[in-house]
Amino acid sequence: MKEKFLQVTDIETVLKHVFDWCVNAGGNLIGALLIFIIGRFVIKIIKKLVFSFMEKRKTDPSITGFVRSLLNITLNILLAVAIVNRLGIETTSFAALIASAGLAIGMALSGNLQNFAGGLIILILKPYKVGDFIESQTISGTVKEIQIFHTILTTPDNKLVYIPNGSLSSGTITNYNQNPTRRVEWIFSVEYGEDINKVEEIVKTTVEADKRILATPEPFFAVNALDSSSVNVIIRAWVNNADFWPVRFDMNRSIYEAFNKESINFPFPQITVHNKN
């Protein structure tokens, strides 16, 4: 009878421990869930306040995109640590585990660390900013956003391209928007026998008629080459950056119409055949 009483007591003790553990685990789970919900709300508020402050201070959009990515990752890591701690897992042990795996993580993320450092270099040295049209890695496009690991470009045909910041910070970048003016160059071919002085006069008149072309530096005209079946003339003129492509395309049409009007012939490939007889 005594042995039976002891067995019942042991079962009750075990059940009591199980019940206490379930209560504690349930409390931890509920607490972790509350931390997650409240944490997400707090993160949203913090991000909104920071971005509102940066907007009022008219912060460079390049920095805004970088800070957005960095703040989002940092706050979510802190939230994850708080949740892990509420679940009863020692954060010191958690940190020790991360530290012990630090070498492997560092090797695995070495490329991302390089990209992060590259992003900081880009923000400090500013080889480009959001809105600039750049060319790098054989890719050209308008800078849409500078994130902590990548720079996002929008190509002229509306594709998004993600280029690692590490390669951008250490590679060659062509920035088409940094200077206020650009030089436009055209090469036109005319037939041999055409009056080159007349061609020059027509070209100068056509160029001067376009008010978007700057008077200083003065437009340049010269005979570029004596080709196999044509005389190639070159024109160089300076325009404001925003007018580069419109002027380039419009001048092609204007020169074509002016040459046709003045009966200046365009060449085409010719082969002279001699009959031996």
Residue 275 lies in a domain: no
| pLDDT average, residue stretch 151-159 | 93
pLDDT at 8 over 60: no
End-to-end CA distance of the chain: 138
% pLDDT > 70, the chain: 76
| pLDDT average, residue stretch 127-146 | 90
DSSP string, 184-252: EEEEEEE-TTS-HHHHHHHHHHHHHH-TTB-SSSPPEEEEEEE-SS-EEEEEEEEEEGGGHHHHHHHHH
Residue 268 lies in a domain: no
- Looking at the fold, whether 129 and 169 belong to one and the same domain comes out as yes
Measured between alpha carbons, how far is residue 34 from residues 24, 41, 86, 88, 136 in Å? Answer: 15, 11, 10, 15, 47
Q: How many domains does the chain have?
A: 3
Measured between alpha carbons, how far is residue 57 from residues 43, 60, 61, 198 in Å? Answer: 21, 9, 11, 58
- Looking at the fold, whether 67 and 30 belong to one and the same domain comes out as yes
Its pTM surpasses 0.85: no
| pLDDT average, residue stretch 91-102 | 57
- Looking at the fold, whether 77 and 8 belong to one and the same domain comes out as yes
- Looking at the fold, whether 169 and 223 belong to one and the same domain comes out as no
pLDDT at 6 over 50: no
pLDDT band per the 50, 70, 90 thresholds, residue 111? low
Of the three residues 70, 100, 130, the one that is the final residue of a domain is: 100
Residue 88 lies in a domain: yes
Q: What pLDDT does residue 17 have?
A: 61
Q: What pLDDT does residue 24 have?
A: 65
- Looking at the fold, whether 164 and 211 belong to one and the same domain comes out as no
| pLDDT average, residue stretch 256-264 | 91
pLDDT at 5 over 50: no
- Looking at the fold, whether 17 and 94 belong to one and the same domain comes out as yes
- Looking at the fold, whether 96 and 131 belong to one and the same domain comes out as no
Of the three residues 100, 127, 144, the one that is the final residue of a domain is: 100
Measure the CA dihedral 170/171/176/181, to 10°.
70
Are 145 and 151 within 8 A, CB to CB?
A: yes
Pick from 271, 236, 270, 267: nearest CA to 251:
236
Q: List 108's β-bridge partners, or say none.
A: none
- Edge-first strand listing for the sheet containing 181-190: 181-190, 231-240, 220-226
- Looking at the fold, whether 68 and 8 belong to one and the same domain comes out as yes
CATH number at residue 23: 1.10.287.1260
Q: What pLDDT does residue 11 have?
A: 61
Residue 272 lies in a domain: no
Residue 39 lies in a domain: yes
pLDDT in tens, 201-236: 999 999 999 999 998 899 999 999 998 888 999 999
Residue 56 lies in a domain: yes
- Looking at the fold, whether 190 and 233 belong to one and the same domain comes out as yes
CATH number at residue 120: 2.30.30.60
CATH number at residue 224: 3.30.70.100
Of 44-53, 62-71, 195-204, minimum mean pLDDT range: 62-71
- Looking at the fold, whether 155 and 211 belong to one and the same domain comes out as no
- Rounded Cα distance between 76 and 227, Å, is 66
Residue 161 lies in a domain: yes
Residue 266 lies in a domain: no
Q: What pLDDT does residue 138 have?
A: 87
- Looking at the fold, whether 95 and 156 belong to one and the same domain comes out as no
How would you classify the pairing of strands 181-190 and 231-240?
antiparallel
Domain boundaries, position 257:
181-261
Q: What integer best gives the mean pLDDT of the chain?
A: 80
Residue 186 neighbours by CB under 8 Å, 6+ apart: 234, 235, 248, 251, 252, 255
- Looking at the fold, whether 138 and 194 belong to one and the same domain comes out as no
